[in-house]
Chain A
Amino acid sequence: MNWLHIIFVCEIYIILTLSANLVSGYTGLLSFANAAFYGISAYLTALIMKNYGLNYFFVLPIAMFFNVVVSLLITYFSTKLKNLYFIIATIAFQIIIFSVLYNWENVTGGSDGIPDIPKIEILGNTLNSTLDYTILGGIFMVLVMAFFLSFRKTPFIRLLECIRDHELETISLGKNIIYYKFVCISISSAFMAISGSLYAVYNNFIDAKSFTLDESILIVSMILIGGTGNVIGPIFGAVFFVLLPEIIRLFPIETSQGASIQMIIYGLIMILVVRFRPNGLFGKFRFQ
C-alpha cells in the first residue's frame, strides 16, 4: 500500500466532508451535489492550466470563484424547496453536471477525460512526487480544519444550527435565512474547489467517472457515519471510507467486484445508520 497516496486521498476527502458538513450537518440541507462541485473545479483547473499555462495558485481562486457562482443555483433551491424536494433537486443537479462533464466532448474530452494535466510550480520548482502533494494537501487540510475549528462555538454556527432545527422560528426572530444559506453553501463549494483542483494536478488525468452520483453518495455516507454537526465526525467518516477500499483490496476479489462490494457497504451503512444511530458514530445531530 502506498501510504503517502492514501494520506493524500484522506486529505482531499477531509476537506470535502468538512465542507459538506457545513451545509448538511450544521444547516440541515442534505445535498447530493458534492461530487458535482468537486468535479467542476477539477475540470476547470485542468483546462485552464493546460490551455493557458497559468500558475496553479492563480487558478485555484478562479476555480473557487466559479464554484461559488454555480452554487448560487443550489442556494436558490434551498430557498424555494422543502427539505425532501431540495434533496431530489440536488440529485438531479448532480446527474446533470455529470452528464455535461461526460458528454460535452469539445470541452471536457467526453468519456476520454483530460490527460496530461501540468504539475504545480512554486517559485521555479515543480512539484513532482507524491510526498510533495501530500505535504501541500496537508497544508490545505490544516487550513480548512483551522477554519472550521475556529468557527465552532460562534454565533454564526449557532444560527445555522437554529435554521436546521427550526427554520420557521428562526425567521420569526427576524433573521435573514436566505443570507445564511447563501454564505454556507458558497463557502462549502469554494472549499470543495480546493479538493477538486488538487486532485486534478496530482492525478495528472481526470475523467467524469470520478464525479458521479455514487461519489456524492460516498461523501454523504462519510458524514452520515462519522456524524454531523461537529468537526471530528466528518474527519472520522472521511478516513473510514478512504481506508475501506484498501481493506477490501486485501481480499481475493476482482477490482470491479471490489467496487460493487464498496457500494454495497455504502448502501448498508445508509440504511443502518439512519435507523439505528442517526447521530453517526461521533456526531451531535440527527436528521429529524
Chain B
Amino acid sequence: MDYLENSDFNKMKNEILKIENLSKSFNGLTLFTNVNLTLADGTINSLFGSNGSGKTTFFNLITGYEKPNEGKIFFNGMKIKYRDEFHIAQAGIGRMWQDPMIFPNHTVLQNLLVSSKYNPGESFCNYFFNRNSIKLKEIELKEKAISILSKFKLTFKKNHLAGSLSLGEKKLLSISMLLMNDAQLLLLDEPFSNVNSNTIERMSESLYEVKNNGKTIIMVEHKIKFAQAISDVCFNIQNQKIEKVN
C-alpha cells in the first residue's frame, strides 16, 4: 500500500477521501476527466448526476472494482488499488447497493453478527486453543447488534430470516451491517429509492446517527431536494467533472 509523505498526511487528517486527477473512460465513452475532490471526515455528502453519467462507476473506482485510466484515490492516506477488495473493505470502506446485499438464509441478528470485522470465532485455530474468547465475543457482539437494531427500530425482527424482510427493512439492515462493520466511509447507492416515508424517516435518522459516530457518508441519490436537505455537501457530475453544488 502506498502512503503519502508525513507532511501531506498531516494536511489530510480531516480528509477521509481524496481524489486526484481522476480520469475514467471505457468503450470509447469518457466519464471523468481530471476530477479532483475531497470528502471531509464526519460529513454527509450527496452525489447527483443524470443516468449513465458514471455514478456507479465512481463508487466502483473508490472500492477498487474498477481501475482509473489516470489519477489516484486516497482513503485515509491509503492509495486505492484495483482489485484489492479485501484490504479496502478492511480499511473501512463500506458499500450499500441499490439492491441491498444481505444474507437471505440467515436471520437479521446473524447478518449483523457476521458483519463484525474481528471475530475470533471466524478463525479456525481458536476452536482448539481459545474457545472461551469465542463465546465471550459472541455475547459482546450480540449486545452491540441489538443496540444497533434498536436504533433502527428493527429489534422485533431480529430472529426473522433476512430474506423475508421488506425492501425498506433490508436497506436498514444493510446500513446496520455497515455500522456493525465499523465502516468509516459509507457509500450508499440510492438509499431512498423505492421506500415509503416511514422508512425514509428511519433512514435519515440512522444517517445522522452514523455521522454523529464520526463516520462519513456519500450517497448517490435522485431525490435531489431531499438529499440536499440532509447533506452537508453536494456534488454534481456534469461535463465529465464532479463539482460542488450549493
Contacts and interface: CB of A to CB of B under 8 A. Distances in A.
Interface in A254-288: 284-285
Contacts of B71: none
B95 A172 contact: yes
Contacts of A170: 114
Nearest to B126: A156
Contacts of A165: 103-106
A106 interface: no
Contact of B177 (A159, A171, A173, A284): A173
Given A154-B127, A171-B86, A174-B89, A162 B177 contact: no
Name the residue among B63, B123, B124 with the largest chain A CB count within 10 angstroms.
Answer: B124
Interface string A151-179: 10011101101100110111111111000
Contacts, number: 67
Nearest to A183: B124
Contacts of A183: 124
A158 B105 contact: no
B181 A158 contact: no
Interface in B154-191: 177, 181
B61 interface: no
Contact of B106 (A158, A174, A180): A158
Nearest to A160: B122
Interface string B72-95: 000000000000011001100011
B113 interface: yes
B105 A171 contact: no
B114 A162 contact: yes
A166 B124 contact: no
A147 B44 CA distance: 48
A113 to B, nearest CB: 36
A284 B101 CA distance: 21
A155 B119 contact: yes
Name the residue among A166, A174, A176 with the largest chain B CB count within 10 angstroms.
Answer: A174
B49 interface: no
22 contacts: A154-B121, A155-B119, A155-B122, A156-B122, A156-B127, A159-B114, A165-B103, A165-B104, A165-B105, A165-B106, A166-B102, A170-B114, A171-B86, A172-B63, A172-B89, A173-B114, A173-B181, A174-B86, A174-B89, A175-B86, A180-B122, A183-B124
Given A154-B134, A156-B122, A170-B114, 17 more contacts: A151-B127, A154-B121, A154-B127, A155-B122, A156-B127, A158-B110, A165-B106, A168-B101, A172-B101, A173-B117, A173-B177, A174-B89, A175-B122, A176-B86, A180-B122, A183-B124, A285-B105
